[in-house]
Structure 1
Amino acid sequence: MFKNRMFLTGLGVGIMIGALLLQLMLIGERSEASLGERLGSGAEEKVYTQRELDDAIAAERAAAQGAAAPSDSAKAGGEAGKPEADDADGKEQGTSTETPKPSPNDATSPPPQTEAPSKDEPPLERVVQIEGGMNLTQTAKRLADAGVIDKQASLIAEMKRKNKRVRAGYFLFTGQPELADVVRTITGQPLTKEEREELAKRGVE
């Protein structure tokens, strides 16, 4: 019984050692493979020396200067030809420009006559009759038809606000009176017969 146990123990230890060795072999093979790949890729890269780099930079600069030289010469030629064109334009302008000579008639011509301002026309005078029994609306319409007021509603509102009554008779309106002047006139003293006759002589009816 004791011999079998020793045998099994040794067998187990041997199997474990063999597995460890196998694992170590696999790890070594993988390390060699990866190292070989790195070395192979590094071998493919080309390494330049400092002298080769300097020669390549100098060649690129020379090519760039050679390409810029034709454009500079063309630009210089264009600028050189431009003053000649400007001189030609200046000569043409100088020959075509003429100084206008004053005419002898200009000095003796009389100044333009200005029309004298016309005198202000007298304001328009109108006589409006307000008949007895006319209400406020009819009175406002009569004044609007005569051209004394513009808005009938404004006169009606102002009369109601002041609580005044329209008087019957003939009333004189001069120009375009204010609303307050219209109210004062139609609520005041109407024209007398003599005043109406005097206005009729002047053509105001």
Structure 2
Amino acid sequence: MFKNRALITGIGAGIIVGALLLQVMLIRPSSPSNSGISLEEMDPQKLKDEASKYYLVLEKNVKMYTQAELDAAIQKRLKEESDKLAAAQPQDQPKSSPPPVALSKIVIYVQPNLDATAVAELLYRASVISDRKAFVTELNKQGGNYKIQVGYHEFEGNLDMATIVTNLITAQ
């Protein structure tokens, strides 16, 4: 009667297997909790202990600060402390000139695969240079964009751009 007997047999077998799986799922009891204690049986401390295994649990009255709020509070506190120090200093003493600053030695580590702008940013943050664009221009002038040596480089005192670039492109 039907020309596709295998198709009809497969559909029938699929329906029978699906019905059997549904019956097995209904017969099986629900899975027990991992600790064997239901949430209704737990007192608040046990519940907090169980939750702290997987989550950060804080008390209700704990104040959480954002990074901006924390920075503002730190700045406010620093201002208060500097005002206290300024008030504590005697006003009638003449201010003396600051002692001469000793030339400091700055050591920079240049990592592999850093381009000229990344090295310029590194030197700027270490206060070796004051202008990133001037450094990149000098580096281009000396042809050192791809010649920057990986490793530690020492900078002592106030150096001009040509000396800094030469220090970076020569092996040490």
TM-score (norm 1): 0.34
Bigger RCO of structures 1 and 2 (CA < 8 A, at least 6 apart): 2
Larger Rg computed on CA atoms: 1
Structure having the higher helix fraction is 1
